[in-house]
């Protein structure tokens, strides 16, 4: 089946007993045994496994072309489990423009535990030569959050293998609809399923999908999932599966709107820079065109003339676009990223825009009006 069809039908086979075309929700905490104390199926206790979570992990494995997947209660829980699957004394090479939460997990939580981290400009291949020997895991984001930088995953995977390191990729912005890191040589791909995979802003979740080269690390990650217990509920797993069924059609609308908004912002007199890999002016456009498909994503960021205060005025003047911290929902969201980060190097005049699926003219009219008002003396 072609991708759009496969996404719709990936978990929607009619139930063999009832004929139901929508999967049932199984909220049970525990599962009964028979008189011989044998389990009738494979499930013992919801923290360990659940029919809805198993189904979600199976679908994510299929979509990413992986070997196995583990679902978590949040993207940060999934990310922490990846790093905890390493050992004290190991070194992670992380993209220097990573999500601020990634930096905080590595520096504030895991550095005292003994995990070493070096931050490097992974979107610049010449910077890879600066990496010390003995790197255990290279962690990339592409497109990155919030500057939308693009890393050449295929080239980086060759480098990682030559250095004896694993390559992990945060694929939240792209989703498997737009980019498949495992096909490009990565060993792990992470998603905050909160965002585009669920797509409706009504749950929090995360997941890690592993390729064949990460089997040992994934075995430890699975133990962390089961014993630490940061797992999604049956209902959240079911909601994520429901969201995945419309991923293709939603991403088409997100990408089309984001591309149009990026073009218009690039020529706006109040805007000093636009960061979106779909623009030919973007320094990573050629690489993104090669390793992404169907579009360049629904997130862009832009900087405004006048600095931080001008950016704040733009936010304040928006009426349709919501001021909120997240992305991937149906509605358009804006975030003055630097004002909520406790770490990171985001420019103070930068606004991150998660472009929704509303009529693009309505989105633009709101942005244009806010920019014009902010530019007035």
Confirm whether 195 is a catalytic residue.
yes
Domain that holds residue 133: 3-244
3-state secondary structure of 116: strand
Same domain, 255 and 239: no
Same domain, 187 and 310: no
Q: What is the pTM of this model?
A: 0.94
Burial class (CB in 10 A: 0-12, 13-18, 19+), 222: middle
DSSP string, 179-241: --GGGGT-SEEEE-TTTTTT-SS----EEEEE-GGGHHHHHHHHHHHHHH-----HHHHHHHH
Domain CATH number, residue 272: 3.90.1150.10
Same domain, 147 and 98: yes
Same domain, 219 and 307: no
Burial class (CB in 10 A: 0-12, 13-18, 19+), 14: exposed
Confirm whether 196 is a catalytic residue.
no
Same domain, 365 and 351: yes
Same domain, 78 and 128: yes
Domain boundary among 218, 244, 270: 244
Same domain, 188 and 282: no
What is the pLDDT, as a whole number, of residue 240?
97
**β-bridge mates for residue 97, sequence order:** none
The catalytically annotated residue of 97, 152, 170, 349 is 170
The catalytically annotated residue of 97, 99, 180, 245 is 99
- Kindly give the parts of the chain with pLDDT less than 50: none
Confirm whether 352 is a catalytic residue.
no
Burial class (CB in 10 A: 0-12, 13-18, 19+), 164: exposed
Domain boundary among 244, 261, 286: 244
What is the pLDDT, as a whole number, of residue 21?
84
The catalytically annotated residue of 53, 136, 195, 250 is 195
What is the pLDDT, as a whole number, of residue 340?
83
Same domain, 257 and 240: no
The count of domains in the chain is 2
- Interval 292-331: pLDDT, tens: 999 999 999 999 999 999 999 999 999 999 999 999 999 9
Same domain, 159 and 40: yes
What is the pLDDT, as a whole number, of residue 343?
65
Same domain, 260 and 226: no
What is the pLDDT, as a whole number, of residue 171?
97
Domain CATH number, residue 70: 3.40.640.10
- Interval 141-196: pLDDT, tens: 999 999 999 999 999 999 999 999 999 999 999 999 999 999 999 999 999 999 99
Confirm whether 47 is a catalytic residue.
yes
Domain boundary among 227, 244, 261: 244
Same domain, 50 and 175: yes
Same domain, 151 and 265: no
């Amino acid at each position: 089946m072609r991708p759009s069809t496969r996404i719709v039908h990936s978990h929607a086979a009619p139930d063999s007993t009832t004929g139901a075309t929508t999967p049932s929700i199984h909220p049970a905490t525990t599962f009964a045994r028979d008189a011989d104390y044998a389990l009738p199926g494979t499930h013992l206790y919801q923290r360990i496994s659940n029919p809805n979570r198993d189904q979600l992990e199976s679908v994510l494995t299929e979509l990413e072309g992986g070997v196995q997947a583990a679902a978590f209660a949040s993207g940060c829980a999934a990310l922490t489990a990846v790093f905890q699957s390493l050992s004290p004394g190991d070194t992670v090479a992380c993209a220097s423009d990573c999500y601020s939460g990634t930096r905080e997990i590595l520096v504030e939580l895991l550095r005292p535990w003994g995990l070493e981290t070096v931050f490097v400009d992974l979107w610049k291949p010449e910077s890879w030569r600066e990496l010390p020997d003995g790197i255990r895991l290279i962690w990339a984001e592409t497109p990155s959050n919030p500057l939308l930088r693009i890393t050449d995953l295929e080239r980086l995977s060759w480098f990682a293998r030559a250095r004896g390191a694993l390559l992990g990729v945060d694929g939240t912005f792209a989703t498997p609809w737009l980019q498949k890191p495992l096909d490009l040589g990565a060993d792990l791909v992470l998603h905050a399923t909160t965002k585009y995979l669920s797509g409706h802003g009504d749950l929090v979740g995360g997941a890690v999908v592993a390729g064949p080269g990460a089997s040992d690390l994934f075995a430890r990650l699975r133990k962390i999932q089961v014993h630490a217990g940061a797992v999604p509920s049956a209902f959240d797993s079911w909601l994520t599966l429901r969201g995945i069924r419309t991923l293709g059609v939603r991403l088409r609308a997100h990408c089309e709107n984001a591309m149009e908004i990026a073009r218009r912002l690039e020529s706006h007199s109040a805007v000093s820079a636009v960061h979106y890999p779909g623009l030919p002016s973007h320094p990573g456009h050629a690489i993104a065109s090669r390793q992404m498909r169907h579009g360049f994503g629904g997130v862009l960021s832009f900087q405004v003339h006048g600095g931080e205060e001008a950016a704040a005025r733009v936010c304040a003047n928006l009426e349709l676009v919501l001021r909120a911290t997240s992305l991937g929902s149906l509605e358009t969201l804006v975030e003055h990223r630097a004002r909520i980060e406790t770490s990171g190097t985001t420019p103070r005049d930068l606004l991150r825009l998660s472009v929704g699926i509303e009529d693009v003219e309505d989105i633009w009219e709101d942005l244009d009006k806010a920019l014009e008002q902010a530019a007035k003396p």
